[in-house]
Homo-oligomer: A and B are copies of this chain.
Amino acid sequence: MAAAEEGQWVLMATGRSPTNIAVIKYWGKRDEALILPVNDSISVTLDPDHLSATTTVAVSPSFPSDRMWLNGKEISLSGGRFQSCLREIRKRAQDVEDEKKGIRIKKEDWGKLHVHIASYNNFPTAAGLASSAAGLACFVFTLGKLMNVKEDHGELSSIARQGSGSACRSIYGGFVKWCMGKNNDGSDSIAVQLADEAHWNDLVIIIAVVSSKQKETSSTSGMRDSVETSPLLQYRAQTVVPERVLKMEEAIKSRNFESFARLTCADSNQFHAVCLDTSPPIFYMNDTSHRIISLVEKWNQSEGTPRVAYTFDAGPNAVLIAPNRKNATILLQKLLYYFPPQDNDLSSYMVGDKSILSDAGLKSIEDVEALPAPAETKMPSQKFKGDVSYFICSRLGAGPKVVTDESLALIDSVTGLPKGV
């Protein structure tokens, strides 16, 4: 280590990583410590403008210990998730030289330096939208940049995997497959990109963030319980998923929305079926989730072919995927008919790409109130105001990126502490 004056400098890097939503689900580990899954999974990466984690990692000889802040609040780093990633990246650290600041760090010195990490999600952490996937992927990616790690994205995905399984899929944009791998050391359990976000860029994603009163089972303990008690899980992993993965790869390659939608819905439902087959049973979906599924299924059935796909992770929120803007606007009209905003405030009810509202002809709450009942529903046209907290409209997006604008760094380059703390 040789710096302007030892202990006086702070070196930082900032990155931004997307979240992802699985269309072929990951549920169950074959190795808890290394986070090796029982089956392959496939996801789409969401636009980081709408759903992403931004992380700044700083290093300084003046830091007496590793510390981390999430959304402005300091959190413990003693858990295994961040420690595994930190250890793996440190192992691969290379010489770094910042001529402007006069800082030189030799590869063997990284082990002596502590890090400060500040991370921020541009969407509610508690909403069950894979915030840990975005966060861990961002941490690994940004730390790798700071420490001049030369490893490729596959290797980085394998490190992110050890922090949070699905984080490995957030290392790429577009369509991503997490190959379960065969090796006991996990070296071949990595993510690969199937196609980038430009390959099928007319897909529109609408997320319904569903209000929930229930405390949810964490996915970590939930999948452990499923592996131990569900008689259906191994059959799903060994027999059903391998075939679905092949079909899904083909559907993505050929942009076959019908096949993509059928597989996505069926696999979401099967994942929740395995949760229900767990002892004690795990319920992630609630009555609102069920109503959204019914709405989509009835529409799809009345059209004879899927107009939209749905998928649910370990929570009640619906992620709806439309093949184009037109279907997305019709979907939105149906959704808002049943789930109007609680407080009549339309503009805060739609987050992300708000322009979908005007595309759907919904410029005011009066437009929402004037919506006709969807023709295909025979059910009494009851409404469920308040059952959806808000919607997010998004699209597919790119993988992690370095944020070069220093004003966007989350850590103060002088104090080495989060800005505003």
Known contacts A213-B382, A215-B379; decide if A273 and B280 are in contact (CB<8 Å): no
A24 CB, nearest partner CB in chain B, Å: 13
- Are the CB atoms of B269 and A276 closer together than 8 Å? yes
21 contacting pairs across A/B (C-beta < 8 A): A214-B290, A231-B239, A232-B235, A232-B240, A232-B270, A235-B235, A235-B239, A266-B279, A269-B276, A269-B277, A269-B279, A272-B276, A273-B273, A273-B274, A273-B276, A273-B277, A276-B276, A280-B301, A283-B290, A283-B293, A286-B287
Q: How large is the interface on A (under 10, 10 to 19, 20 to 34, 35 or more residues)?
A: 20 to 34
A244 closest partner in B (C-beta): B231
- For residue A297, CB closer than 8 A to chain B, the reply is yes
- For residue A81, CB closer than 8 A to chain B, the reply is no
A312 CB, nearest partner CB in chain B, Å: 11
- For residue A61, CB closer than 8 A to chain B, the reply is no
Q: Complex formed: what's the CA distance from A179 to B294 in Å?
A: 35
Mask of A221-243 contacts with B, CB within 8 angstroms, 1/0: 00000000001100110011000
Mask of A196-236 contacts with B, CB within 8 angstroms, 1/0: 00000000000000000111000000000000000110011
Contact pick for A293, options B232, B266, B281, B293, CB 8 Å: B281
A276 closest partner in B (C-beta): B273
Q: Complex formed: what's the CA distance from A287 to B277 in Å?
A: 17
A265 closest partner in B (C-beta): B279
Taking CB atoms, residues of chain B closer than 8 Å to A262 are 279
Taking CB atoms, residues of chain B closer than 8 Å to A214 are 290, 379
Number of copies of this protein chain within its complex: 2
A303 CB, nearest partner CB in chain B, Å: 13
A262 CB, nearest partner CB in chain B, Å: 8
Q: Complex formed: what's the CA distance from A215 to B236 in Å?
A: 30
A216 CB, nearest partner CB in chain B, Å: 11
Contact pick for A240, options B231, B278, B290, CB 8 Å: B231
A223 CB, nearest partner CB in chain B, Å: 15
A17 CB, nearest partner CB in chain B, Å: 32
A125 CB, nearest partner CB in chain B, Å: 20
A280 CB, nearest partner CB in chain B, Å: 4
Q: Complex formed: what's the CA distance from A231 to B269 in Å?
A: 11
Mask of A254-288 contacts with B, CB within 8 angstroms, 1/0: 00000000100110011011101111110100110
A297 closest partner in B (C-beta): B280
Q: Complex formed: what's the CA distance from A378 to B277 in Å?
A: 23
Mask of A351-382 contacts with B, CB within 8 angstroms, 1/0: 00000000000000000000000000011001
Taking CB atoms, residues of chain B closer than 8 Å to A265 are 279
- Are the CB atoms of B301 and A270 closer together than 8 Å? no
Q: Complex formed: what's the CA distance from A262 to B279 in Å?
A: 9
- Are the CB atoms of A277 and B283 closer together than 8 Å? no
Q: Complex formed: what's the CA distance from A280 to B280 in Å?
A: 25
Q: Complex formed: what's the CA distance from A262 to B231 in Å?
A: 14
Q: Complex formed: what's the CA distance from A280 to B295 in Å?
A: 11
A272 closest partner in B (C-beta): B276
Q: Complex formed: what's the CA distance from A326 to B208 in Å?
A: 45
Mask of A297-321 contacts with B, CB within 8 angstroms, 1/0: 1000100000000000000000000
